[in-house]
Structure 1
Amino acid sequence: MSRLPVIVAQGGISPAGRTSGFHGYHRLVFDQLSQQKQKETLAALAQIRGLDASASANEILAGSLVRKLEGNLFDNNALDYNHPLKAGEGSELILPKRRLPSPMPAGWEVEELADGKHIRVTFSDTQPLMLPSTRAGIVNAAGQLPTGFKPDELYQSRHHPRSLAMTVFGASDAMQSSGLDWLGLKDQLAPEEIAVYAGSAMSQLDYNGYGGMMKARLMGKRVTSKQCPLGFAEMSADFINAYILGSLGNTGTSMGACATLLYNLQMAVNDIRSGKRRLVIVGNSEAPITPEIMDGYSTMGALATDDALRKLEGLATGENPEWRRACRPFADNAGFTIAESSQYFVLMDDELAMASGASILGSVADVFVNADGYKKSISAPGAGNYLTVARAAALGRAILGEESLRQRSFVQAHGTGTPQNRVTESHILNETAKVFGMDSWSIAAVKSYVGHSIGVAAGDQLMSTLGVWHSGLIPGIRTIDGIADDVHHSHLNILQQHQEVTGAMDMSLINAKGFGGNNATALVMSPDVTEKLLSAKHGKQAMTGWKQQAEQVEARQQAHEQLQVSGDASPIYQFGEGVLNEEHLEFTDKALKVPGFGKAVNLDASNPFWEID
């Protein structure tokens, strides 16, 4: 019998706000919240934005979700580039003497000037030159983190790439908001029973990472000693192990373009179901709002440019489009909206979750991954996503039955807001609904609120899904006026307004598609269904014990939430603390004991294969 991977905590930061406490989700459905919940959401958002109590609700909300690109990351109206030109024979250039390059370029004739500090260069041949220039960006809509939120200022970041600073905040938020005793948990586990699967689909491409390493010399600057090592894609997992969790367990990341988070979630689910791991941190952090990345996607025709949005809205050249509505899944649209986000989730096997009194936010039955096979274009969609969606729906039916799948399930669509996605993904979902007997399958698309955070995208979808079960509202796609003519939806209910979940919503399919043929679909089950599964396996007495433990966990969660809202909580960042070496290990040929872990690493291994004669 498989162990059940239970989601016991979530944390992070997205354009919607802080993930823990369901604050990010509540920003999506803010207009449908009770007055008290609105007040709590505003307080949490104001705190991370650094606003005081005098700020109005409109002011607080304005600096969140998809909106016009702000100037805190870079000036989008003055993007640096080098304009190529050619200087003809006989042209002259005056340079400081100390700036004379060595070796001297061919075709240069040098004459020292009278001041002794400058030289005159005369070109004896045509010379290619680069003239520093600026240009305005053609894309102004982005899903930025809330205005004023600066993750690198919350701890001693030491020139960390932006997505790593977001990792420190996001992973800390998940762990601290869980209400769990982490030292007590480690005392129950061996090092190899813990894993961290986290990373970034595009690595760290801002100036403090690979971006700076690649262009520093071309800008006349020096490469730093940190840009290369901190640029690696799996560095989020490394930071969590080294500075937050202190884990010696399994680690790494699995990359699959825009399906990356589900690839990491699949590793966690496989590990927990097989019994190899008991506690897994899963997440991704992506900071792709840089001029170079936006230039790459817009050159592909993938991003919604200002001109394209104007055409959709019937505006004249120079008029401002509705940047807030830039992402329009399943409607007449013009491209996706790039975003940054950091989402982390803590999963446990069912026995550990019960024993620790952990909160039950839901559970992950499985994650299905399929490639597309032969492709015409590496960026074009293919057949693989039909397989992943169908397999997830079939498993949901097998676990909970036909009626549950047909009446009490919904889909968090990939929903990028591109013309191609609206056709291909709607056909996949519509055909699945048709063959499995769904007449009006509810479809949501959270990118309409927070944009497309590349490798973290499915994390934004999972954050929203867990919120649905907490508050009973599936966020509608509020950025669209109707469904496009080429969208397949005979058996779909593509939500344009928030849908109140009047009865139990048992399961959700989280769908992700990525360039190169990376398709993944997760089947996530509700807290109510998860508790029923736990009760069926462990019995009522064990559930009573879990509930008693859960009261203490909830009290610690509330205490931490108060610290967060008051601004007194800091991310976990243990630099240079608790460093282990060979002197701390108790090492025999049968076991290896590591300080801080209650169980030793078992070295008394048995042969998992067959005997050799």
Structure 2
Amino acid sequence: MTALPIIVGMGGINAAGRTSFHQGYRRIILDKLDGAAREETFLGLATLMNLVSFEEGKLVTHDGEVVSARDIEKKLGEQIIAGTLIRKIEKNHFDVDATHWQQKLTITANNSEGISFTCRKRDLPTPVPSSWIVEEVEPKTVKVRVPEQLEIKHDSYRDNPIKAAGQLPTGFEPANMYNSRYQPRGLQATIFSATDAIKSTGLDWELVINSVRPDEIGTYSASVAGQMDAEGLGGLIRNRLKGDRVSTKQLALGLNTMSTDFINAYVTGSVGTTFTSTGACATFLYNLRAAVNDIQAGRTRVAVVASVECALTPEVIEGFGNMGALANEEGLKKLDNSDVADHRRTSRPFGENCGFTIGEGAQVAILMDDKLALELGAQVMGSVVDVFVNADGVKKSITAPGPGNYITMAKSVALAQQIVGSESLQKRSFILAHGSSTPQNRVTESAIYHKVAEAFSIEGWKLAAPKAFVGHTIAPASGDQLAIALGVFSHNIMPGITTIDKVADDVWNEHLDIRTEHYDCGEMDVAFINSKGFGGNNATATVFSPNVTHKLLSKRHGEERLESYSEKLAQTIARQQTYRESADLGQYELIYRFGNGMIDESGLEIDQNELHIPGFEQAISLSGLNQYQDISK
């Protein structure tokens, strides 16, 4: 049988909070939670945001006040709500009201003497302009006379028209959770998210590694822009222009492969497949597709699928802003007929909108083939039966949408119908829309869903748009969507698009169910994770619920095998609960194996059939690799 890729864990971080155990999802649907879930959500966010710490068995605020979990919403609820989801960009990123830049200035001499100044000899430009007259006044000081005019650049500040973003929760500092060594923010988020994902499985990772051959573990991850802050490519590009030095780390740590490399080198210690694919806004799905294909083909049995983007820098925001892609202050004021922009509602998918809102985040999913998942007693969160990717064909504007997304959606829906049947598709499936919040997207994407719904006789097709809450995180955006889908499967609550007053008149919503409030949706069977990226990078994943996945497992493996699995699952759930309680108290204990457990290459043993690596119980097989005819005989 073709292996079935099972989701056994998911972790991460975005503007809504931690991904594991649906904390971020529950922050979004906060007002629909019962008392216990609401209390746990506030507790987890309070410790994540460093508003409360767990000391000597007690919860303590910054003021030294001992509080109970029940007290947190009352004392800190408003601060927690204000410090999560989309909001005005905080100054730890940059000052949006006074964004630093270099202003050009041409100075013209007022008299025949020209412009004169003194400076250190070492500060003269190389070469000295031919029109300058330089006279030494002291051993290390010169007087310079410029006959006519001088062009200079000087520090200046401007009011940035883009003021909101989906930022990680206020006070969340992954750098303080491990020895981060001045690493870029995105890589810090990667370490946190990979740890969160692995621990969310409730499985002993050493047992997982030694249950398969070392080359049957794969890591599939990427960023789009790479690490664009000062510790990465941002510093590499800016430093010399600012008069600072370039560090030895900025180029290497800035590359968009680094999230993959950090997971392998510092978290999992994997020697298996390492894969990075960038597909604009569909990057997470591109890497998920590679993992799913490798699991189905038997090349990979354990897959870590990830993506990260922490690019809230003036340069990246200005780039998107100059394209007219981001919601700006004037556009928001005009939409609301107000003198004040509502920074909490900058992202308005499928409503009257004026551009998307950028976000930052990291998402990591752990997948296994179904046989291994049953063998280890893994928690089944869902399954990914396929991910479809198609391009747009000939384009005029590289950023404009095209027909590729019709293909990916139609294939995904057709596949779901062929497995679960028409009734399940028509009554218990939903869409996690790309929903970027641009005027063009709301029309073109809804038109796709309209036509696919017509073709498959779907009425009232439920739709959620996570970017309304966490912004557009670019590379991990479809990971945000997957996290919400798993939350819906678990809680049966569909997030409405609460940032819009109503669906825009030009949206094709005849067959769609787009609501402005969260609502009980009942048990869902199938989620379609859809992404439309710049350049024609279209992708759609077909994701089955735990219930549907269990039905598939029963058909594939039989009830007797599932009974044996259930006994192991109970132990897994107990270990998951232990991590869940620790994480809610801020006790993450990040996995960061810097130089710890390095492989002694002198201990490698190799013959014509196998390769043994120190530290791994199983060997890598060198036989059975040939897929072609043997022509040696």
Band the TM-score falls in, shorter-chain normalisation:
over 0.9
Q: Deviations over 1:111-143 (max 9, x none)?
A: 233x65532211135433212211121111110
Which residue is 2:240 aligned to? 217
- Displacement, 1:419? 0.3
Q: Distance in 2 between matches of 1:64 and 1:101?
A: 47
- Displacement, 1:598? 2.5
2:200 to 161, 167, 177: 177
User: Once superposed, what is the RMSD of the aligned Cα atoms?
Assistant: 1.3
2:353 to 333, 341, 353: 333
- Displacement, 1:70? 1.0
Q: Does 1:583 align with 2:629?
A: no
Mapped contact 2:44–2:586 kept (Cα < 8 A)? no
Which residue is 2:478 aligned to? 458
Mapped contact 1:406–1:438 kept (Cα < 8 A)? yes
Q: Deviations over 1:156-192 (max 9, x none)?
A: 1111111000000000100012110111111111111
Residues 490-499 or 514-523, more deviating: 490-499
Which residue is 1:72 aligned to? 92
Q: Distance in 2 between matches of 1:306 and 1:532?
A: 50
Which residue is 2:13 aligned to? 13
Q: Does 1:431 align with 2:451?
A: yes
Which residue is 1:39 aligned to? 39
- Displacement, 1:606? 4.8
Q: Does 1:146 align with 2:169?
A: yes
Which residue is 1:448 aligned to? 468
Q: Distance in 2 between matches of 1:559 and 1:537?
A: 31
Q: Deviations over 1:85-131 (max 9, x none)?
A: 22336222332333223432332211233x65532211135433212
Q: Distance in 2 between matches of 1:558 and 1:402?
A: 37
Q: Distance in 2 between matches of 1:496 and 1:567?
A: 33
Matches within 5 A, 1:409-558: 409-502=429-522, 504-558=523-577
Residues 603-612 or 19-28, more deviating: 603-612
- Displacement, 1:552? 0.8
Q: Secondary structure at the match of 1:257?
A: coil
Q: Distance in 1 between matches of 2:497 and 2:383?
A: 25
Mapped contact 1:187–1:596 kept (Cα < 8 A)? no
Mapped contact 2:432–2:463 kept (Cα < 8 A)? yes
Q: Distance in 2 between matches of 1:302 and 1:11?
A: 29
Which residue is 2:298 aligned to? 275
Q: Does 1:298 align with 2:317?
A: no
Q: Distance in 2 between matches of 1:542 and 1:236?
A: 37
Mapped contact 2:600–2:614 kept (Cα < 8 A)? no
Q: Which amino acid aligns with 1:92?
A: S
Q: Distance in 1 between matches of 2:301 and 2:616?
A: 13
- Displacement, 1:209? 0.6
Q: Secondary structure at the match of 1:168?
A: helix
Q: Which amino acid aligns with 2:370?
A: D
Q: Which amino acid aligns with 2:606?
A: F
Q: Distance in 1 between matches of 2:603 and 2:418?
A: 49
Q: Distance in 2 between matches of 1:13 and 1:51?
A: 17
Q: Deviations over 1:499-522 (max 9, x none)?
A: 3122x3110101001000000000
Q: Distance in 2 between matches of 1:352 and 1:497?
A: 40
- Displacement, 1:375? 0.5
- Displacement, 1:590? 1.5
Q: Distance in 2 between matches of 1:538 and 1:410?
A: 28
Q: Which amino acid aligns with 1:22?
A: H
Mapped contact 2:409–2:530 kept (Cα < 8 A)? yes
Which residue is 2:23 aligned to? 23
Q: Which amino acid aligns with 2:330?
A: D
TM-score (ref. length: structure 2): 0.94
Mapped contact 2:295–2:369 kept (Cα < 8 A)? yes
Q: Distance in 1 between matches of 2:42 and 2:486?
A: 20
Q: Deviations over 1:255-311 (max 9, x none)?
A: 100000000000010011111110000010100111000000000000000111000
Matches within 5 A, 1:153-172: 153-172=176-195
2:396 to 373, 376, 394: 376
Which residue is 1:92 aligned to? 116
Residues matched between the structures, number: 608
Q: Which amino acid aligns with 1:45?
A: L
1:597 to 601, 616, 621: 616
Q: Secondary structure at the match of 2:542?
A: strand
Q: Which amino acid aligns with 1:282?
A: V
Q: Secondary structure at the match of 2:241?
A: helix
Structure 1 unmatched ranges of 5 or more? none
Mapped contact 2:97–2:159 kept (Cα < 8 A)? yes
Q: Which amino acid aligns with 1:104?
A: V
2:265 to 234, 242, 254: 242
Percent identity between the aligned chains? Answer: 47
Mapped contact 1:188–1:597 kept (Cα < 8 A)? no
4+ runs deviating over 4 angstroms: none
Q: Secondary structure at the match of 1:228?
A: helix
Q: Which amino acid aligns with 2:592?
A: Y
Which residue is 2:150 aligned to? 127
Mapped contact 1:327–1:447 kept (Cα < 8 A)? yes
Q: Which amino acid aligns with 2:450?
A: N
Q: Which amino acid aligns with 1:44?
A: G
Q: Which amino acid aligns with 1:583?
A: S
Q: Does 1:204 align with 2:227?
A: yes
Q: Which amino acid aligns with 2:246?
A: V
Q: Distance in 1 between matches of 2:417 and 2:280?
A: 29
Residues 174-183 or 79-88, more deviating: 79-88
- Displacement, 1:562? 2.1
Structure 2 unmatched ranges of 5 or more? 53-66
1:345 to 347, 362, 365: 365
